[in-house]
Structure 1
Amino acid sequence: MNVPPATPVVLALDFGGTKTALTVADPHGTRLHDLTVETAAEHGAHAGLKRAVDAARTLLDGREPVAVGVSTIGIPGNEGVALAPNIPGWEDLALGRELALAFPESELRLATDVKAAARHEYDAGALRGCDPGLYLNLGTGLAVALVVGGTVLTGRNGASGEIGYNLRSLQDVGRTDHTPLEEAVSGKALTRAAAHGSTQLADHIGELLDELAFHLVNLTIAVDPERIVVGGGMVRSWDALHDPLRAALDAAVPYPPQLVPAAHPYDAPLLGALALAVEAARTRI
């Protein structure tokens, strides 16, 4: 085993559709240095990964981290990242293997960003003590995570909660060429709508909230959560989100749950990655 440095540190990275957030912390999780770099998806997956690794080296300032925790869009593995269309080439990027090569002396842990965020919100945020609890991410993409008995459900293939792939109408049944829900309900969808002017954007926001409420109500009826916690960049418009979602839940759900913003709506995935790094560091120190 490699001997850790006199002042060991851990590294956390959160790979998102528009940015990568990084933090260096001590082995107890106290953050020492933070940095955010643009994903620049148009330059491809390998360029985005190199940009993040270079930024991490700047933060580390010559130190080797004892452990590296990673959260990412999609479902990460050593040979690729499944269900990650927002960054061209990300699905074919051997993320685990590439990071192991970049940080060969570090323990490495990877997780899907929304599941990492839900884990953090359960441990130290707005989902604490909730059973079951539902974490809804409204960012560049759309997904949920379900926490039952203190465990974030992953599903057989790690794809539990990927509601961005939901069908949108009866006409979509049996078709392989349908438009998935994330294309209409997400920050990415709003960005596209904004390009067409303010009038169309206002109409699109109303349609987005209606469609989001439809799916959230059905999911809530199926799960019967104690609380729904909402995170992601769209939480910046919480007042506009809360009222229509609250009204929809109250009108249709037999036992309407609480609906609150995440305690850390914008950096819960990074904090979840940091928790992974801290946990991994315990095996080395």
Structure 2
Amino acid sequence: MSIRLRATVVALLLLTPLAGVAPATAGPPRTNYDVLGDSYGSGVGVPPYDPASLGCARSQSAYGVLVDGRARLRLDDFVACAGATTTSLVAGGQLAALDADTDLVLLSIGGNDIGWSQAVTACLGGTDAQCAGASALVRGRIATVLPGLLDTLHAKITAAAPQARVVVTGYARLFSPEYGAYLGASPAEQQVLNEGADLLNEAVAAAAARHGFDFVDVTGRFVDHGVNAPEPWVLGAFDPAAFHPTLAGYEAYAAAVTAAIKPGRNS
């Protein structure tokens, strides 16, 4: 074979795809998601906060940001805002982040609607009677007020993002009563507050189920990590962001959310 002919054959081989070799693929498409909700969604407790968030205290250590890149997720809009309730979430414009092309919504909401922080304050610094009264008031709101508020919000989310999968996160238990009293809250009072958190989570989970949303329970991940535990994942009463997760706490949230969405189902 001449040198010229040999060169021609080699060139043809290089230009011809090998038989049986499948072309490279880009893999499954990424899931674009939005993060809505309250301070547990915005990342209160792990500053610095985005100065452009206008008091919403949005942190890059929020669980909704930490999951960016996991399970082929891509963060689109991060609009969760500290202090948000079911109604202020709507009035504050968070739903504007959603549209017909939204794949996934991460949502944390409900705690501010029932005055949860008031019960915690009453049990830490008030009398036994004040603690019991505040806890009973919160339980009543969970049973009678919160379900309707959540239903109204969830219907609006479905209307704004009809194709999206919605993942709702619950709230952590704040205390580890086995480690004794914390400030003015006895182990028994801490247990009452933890049971209140359980009731809140049950109401949030039930509302999510009524609308075909998924619920992520973080309670088990915070066992032995309450505010009075040796390794707390909840910030103490004297911290500016009292009773919000630490960085380790938000990482636990991110792990729970990642586990829930890992199968890649978007609807």
Q: What TM-score, normalized to structure 2?
A: 0.35
Structure possessing the higher radius of gyration over alpha carbons:
2
Greater share of residues in helix? 2
Q: What TM-score, normalized to structure 1?
A: 0.33
Greater share of residues in strand? 1
